[in-house]
């Protein structure tokens, strides 16, 4: 599998007088697993939303494999797991996945096979025929992740995928991500769980008040005797936390 | 291209299945069926006009037209109600972000949402109109040929209601969007009713007794401008209902003006909905 390449070029996003993202430029190489880190309100979610064309840039361009995010071709092979997973409660997990497959233009037979594969990959086998309204937070996260993986996903965008999960759930998600990484998928991970990011991601982009503070490999950012959390605090809140 | 069509069809199917399973739709459907069962008895009624019993056939046709008009207006009202939460429901259930994170354009999404609802309501209206025509046939033994044309004309009113409420729901809270669109439509029915009454022979003869007043009708006044600009939903509905009377003679202008008025409004509203939704933040 070839992962997708992401390019942010001098991107600025303003909401009225507030500048959420200020002249941001960076590139994510195909097959790279990168974490978006930053305090609340730093502009991480805005960067993700710009990539999906959920919001439009005030200036600059966002492209996937050279295609502007406003073009629907940029969303071919993109899987998205939102921060707050919401699904129509009356559907079963499998029906939800079938809807996703339907939206990707798959045939019924193909969709059934892909959905079973995604269910198995996310450890939801045996629970896929239960209504999603009865799912726990962790189960909803997994079925939403399964939905993001249907089709030939080349870019996986995860907005707080472990939010609300117990330690076992967090670990299981990490294992899934590690497997996807091995397949060459590009992963954009927006998370506050720095210990998990350190274990899964190759690189990190730290953003604060809409501007990029650092973008480098985890190995380069984290010096000996430090953790990613130490680096994050040092860069984002120097002097605030001892 | 084939994939794009498949995706668009998927969104439309999704919209329709979501509408059909809504409690409000089921309740309104039951009310409509009860209404049909109640009006069934009207065909057995007798009516005296100036001491003379009205002929069965003519009276039955009058009932048919009235019920036909009521059904069209009712469906328009229901369509407006359902359009109120057309986007909000998707947003709350995460379906908007889900659909738009796939290779689906905002234009396709909105077309499917609006089109899906209009299609469902059209089928619903055709079903109710069809049921009324069967009841009419069973009681009066007449087949009304203009049914399809009349029902098709009423679809424009349904489209108007859906688009008006959809647009306003993107700008103001849904309940106010519905009330505002309902207010505009209600006024359209009132204006058209008044205009139709002033053209009746009884009112004309009263007005002709006063030369000044009759002259006043021909002059251009602000309320005439408002009347001409206002959407002709009432006239369109009434004209559609009159199509099912094979003996009715309607001037081409009388038929075209409301059709053009509503078509122009629908196109303008559709363009505004697309522009507004294109600027929306997807959550």
Q: What is the pLDDT of residues B228-262, one digit of tens each?
A: 899 999 999 988 888 887 777 778 888 899 999 99
Q: What percent of chain A has pLDDT over 70?
A: 98
Residues A185, A190, A194, A195, CA torsion sign = negative
| Cα–Cα–Cα angle for A138, A139, A140, rounded to 5 degrees | 90
User: For residue B215, what pLDDT is reported?
Assistant: 47
Can you give the pTM of this predicted structure? 0.87
Average pLDDT, chain B: 86
Q: Which residues pair with A6 in a beta bridge?
A: A28, A64
Check CB contact of A80 with chain B, cutoff 8 Å: yes
Collapsing DSSP to helix, strand or coil, B93 comes out as: coil
Q: Report the residue from B3, B98, B101 with minimal CB separation from A78.
A: B101
pLDDT of residue A127: 93
Does A147 contact B98 at a Cβ distance shorter than 8 Å? yes
Average pLDDT, chain A: 91
- Which helix (H) or strand (E) is A79 found in, with range? strand A78-81
B134 C-beta neighbours (distance < 10 Å), count = 11
Asked whether the beta carbons of residue B103 and residue A75 sit closer than 8 angstroms, the reply is: yes
**Mutation for testing the A interface, residue in B1, B4, B10, B95 having most A CBs under 10 Å:** B10
Q: How far apart are CA B91 and CA A46, in angstroms?
A: 18
Which of the residue ranges A127-131, A235-239, B76-80, B105-109 would you say has the lowest mean pLDDT?
Answer: A235-239
pLDDT at B80 exceeding the cut of 90: yes
Residue A54 clears pLDDT 90, i.e. is over it: yes
Q: Check pLDDT > 70 for residue B217.
A: no
| Residues within 8 A of A (CB atoms), B 73-92 only | 92
Determine the Cα–Cα distance for residues A124 and B98; give it in Å rounded to an integer: 20
Q: Most A CBs within 10 Å: which of B94, B101, B275, B278, as the mutation test of the A interface?
A: B101
Pick from A54, A82, A103: CB nearest B104:
A103
Residues A54, B281: C-beta atoms closer than 8 Å: yes
> Within 10 A of B20 (CB to CB), how many other CB atoms are there?
12
State whether residue B236 is helix, strand or coil.
Answer: helix
Q: Are A128 and A93 in contact (CB under 8 A)?
A: yes
Residue A79 has pLDDT above 50, yes or no: yes
All residues of chain B having their beta carbon less than 8 Å from the beta carbon of residue A99 are: 10, 14, 98
Q: Which residue has the higher pLDDT, B210 or A160?
A: A160
Establish if B14 touches chain A: CB-CB under 8 angstroms. Answer: yes
- Report the C-alpha gap between A12 and A25 in whole angstroms: 9
| Predicted pLDDT of residue B54 | 65
The residue with tokens 């996310």 is A122
CB contact under 8 A, B282 and A73: no
As a whole number of angstroms, the distance between CA B228 and CA B234 comes to 13
The larger pLDDT score, comparing residue B196 to residue A150, is at A150
Share of chain A above pLDDT 90, in %: 68
Residue, of B263 and A225, whose pLDDT is higher: B263
CA separation for the pair B68, B129 (Å, rounded): 6
Angle A18-A22-A28 from CA coordinates, rounded to 5°? 135
Q: What is the pLDDT of residues B95-149, one digit of tens each?
A: 999 999 999 999 999 999 999 999 999 999 999 988 888 888 887 777 777 888 8
- pLDDT, residue B55, reads 60
- Which 3 state secondary structure label does DSSP give A129? coil
Name the closest residue on chain A to residue B283, using Cα atoms: A54
Give the count of beta carbons closer than 10 Å to the beta carbon of residue A242.
Answer: 4
Helices A167-182 and A137-149, interaxial angle, to 10°? 10
- Which of A105, A133, A141, A152 should be substituted to probe chain B, the one whose Cβ sees the most B Cβ atoms within 10 Å? A105
CA nearest neighbour of B102 among A208, A105, A47, A144: A105
Taking the C-alpha atoms of residue A164 and residue A146, their distance in angstroms, rounded to an integer, is 17
**CA A142 – CA A174 distance, rounded (Å):** 12
Per-residue pLDDT averaged across B188-212, rounded?
78
pLDDT higher than threshold 60 for residue B214: no
Least confident of A22-26, B64-68, B203-207, B233-237: B203-207
Q: Mapped to the 3 state alphabet, what secondary structure does B4-61 carry?
A: HHHHHHHHHHHHHHHHHCCHHHHHHHHHHHHHHHHHHHHHHCCCEECCEECCHHHHHH
- For the cut 90, the answer to whether the pLDDT of residue A52 exceeds it is yes
Facing residue for A87 by CB, picked from B4, B93, B279:
B93
Distance to chain B for A170, nearest Cα, Å: 23
Nearest to A43 by CA among A71, A65, A24, A63: A24
Region for residue B281 given its phi and psi (left: phi exceeds 0; alpha: psi -120 to 50; beta: otherwise): beta
Residues 6+ apart with CB under 8 A from B88: B169, B174
Summarize pLDDT for A97-141 with one digit per residue, the tens. Answer: 999 999 888 989 999 999 999 999 888 999 999 999 999 888 999
For residue B213, pLDDT over 60 is answered with: no
Say how far apart CA A213 and CA A230 lie, in whole Å.
15
pLDDT score for B56 = 61
- Of A156, A104, A151, A157, residue with least CA distance to B11: A104
Beta-bridge partner residues of A80: A157
Q: B1 in contact with A at a CB cutoff of 8 Å?
A: no
Phi/psi for A104 (5° steps) reads -90, 0
Whether residue B281 has pLDDT greater than 60: yes
Measured between CA atoms, how close is A36 to chain B, in angstroms? 19
A85 touching chain B per CB within 8 A: yes
Dist CA B66 CA B189 (whole Å): 14
CB contact under 8 A, A76 and B6: no
Q: Which residues of A touch B113 (CB under 8 A)?
A: none
Instruction: Say if A73 is an interface residue toward chain B (CB within 8 Å).
Output: yes
Query: Comparing C-alpha atoms, which of B175, B179, B158 is closest to residue B233?
Result: B158
What band does B177 get if pLDDT is binned at 50, 70 and 90?
very high
Between CA A49 and CA A33 the distance in angstroms is 18
């Amino acid at each position: 599998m070839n992962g997708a390449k992401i390019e942010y070029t001098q991107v600025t996003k303003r909401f009225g007088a507030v500048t959420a993202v200020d002249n941001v430029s960076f590139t994510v190489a195909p097959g790279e697993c990168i974490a978006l880190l930053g305090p609340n309100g730093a502009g991480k979610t805005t960067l993700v939303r710009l990539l999906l064309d959920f919001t439009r840039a005030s200036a600059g361009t966002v492209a996937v494999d050279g295609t502007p995010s406003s073009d629907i071709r940029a969303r071919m092979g993109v899987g998205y797991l939102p921060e707050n997973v919401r699904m129509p409660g009356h559907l079963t997990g499998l029906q939800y996945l079938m809807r996703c497959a339907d939206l990707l233009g798959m045939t019924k037979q193909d969709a059934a096979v892909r959905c079973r594969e995604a269910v198995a990959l996310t450890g939801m086998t045996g629970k896929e025929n239960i209504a999603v309204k009865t799912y726990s937070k962790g189960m909803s996260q997994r079925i939403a992740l399964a939905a993001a993986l249907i089709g030939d996903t080349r870019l996986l965008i995860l907005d707080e995928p472990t939010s609300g999960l117990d330690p076992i759930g967090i670990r299981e998600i990490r294992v899934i991500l590690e497997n996807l990484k091995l397949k060459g998928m590009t992963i954009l991970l927006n998370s506050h769980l720095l210990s998990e990011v350190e274990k899964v991601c190759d690189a990190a982009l730290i953003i604060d008040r809409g501007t990029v503070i650092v973008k480098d490999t985890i190995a380069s950012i984290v010096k000996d005797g430090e953790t990613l959390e130490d680096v994050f605090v040092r860069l984002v809140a120097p002097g605030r936390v001892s | 291209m084939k994939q794009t069509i498949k995706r668009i069809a998927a969104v439309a199917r999704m919209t329709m299945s979501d509408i059909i399973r809504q409690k409000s739709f089921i309740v309104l459907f039951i009310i409509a069926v009860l209404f049909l069962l109640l009006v069934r008895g009207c065909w057995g009624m007798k009516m005296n006009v100036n001491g003379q019993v009205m002929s069965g056939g003519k009276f039955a046709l009058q009932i048919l037209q009235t019920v036909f008009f009521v059904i069209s207006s009712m469906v328009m009202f229901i369509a407006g109600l359902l359009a109120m939460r057309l986007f909000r429901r998707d947003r709350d259930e995460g379906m908007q972000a889900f659909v738009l994170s796939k290779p689906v354009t905002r234009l396709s999404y909105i077309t499917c949402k609006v089109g899906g609802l209009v299609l469902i309501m059209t089928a619903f209206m055709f079903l109710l109109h069809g049921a009324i025509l069967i009841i009419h046939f069973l009681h009066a033994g007449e087949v009304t040929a203009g049914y399809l044309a009349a029902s098709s004309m009423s679809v424009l009113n349904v489209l108007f209601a859906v688009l008006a409420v959809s647009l306003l729901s993107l700008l103001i809270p849904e309940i106010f969007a519905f009330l505002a669109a309902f207010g505009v439509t209600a006024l359209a029915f009132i204006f058209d009713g008044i205009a139709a009454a002033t053209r009746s022979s009884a009112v004309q003869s009263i007005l002709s007794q006063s030369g000044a007043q009759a002259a006043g009708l021909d002059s251009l006044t602000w309320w005439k401008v408002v009347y001409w600009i206002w959407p002709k939903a009432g006239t369109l509905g009434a004209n559609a209902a009159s199509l099912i009377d094979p003996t009715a003679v309607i001037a081409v202008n009388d038929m075209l003006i409301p059709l053009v008025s509503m078509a122009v409004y629908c196109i303008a509203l559709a363009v505004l909905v697309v522009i507004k939704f294109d600027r929306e933040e997807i959550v």
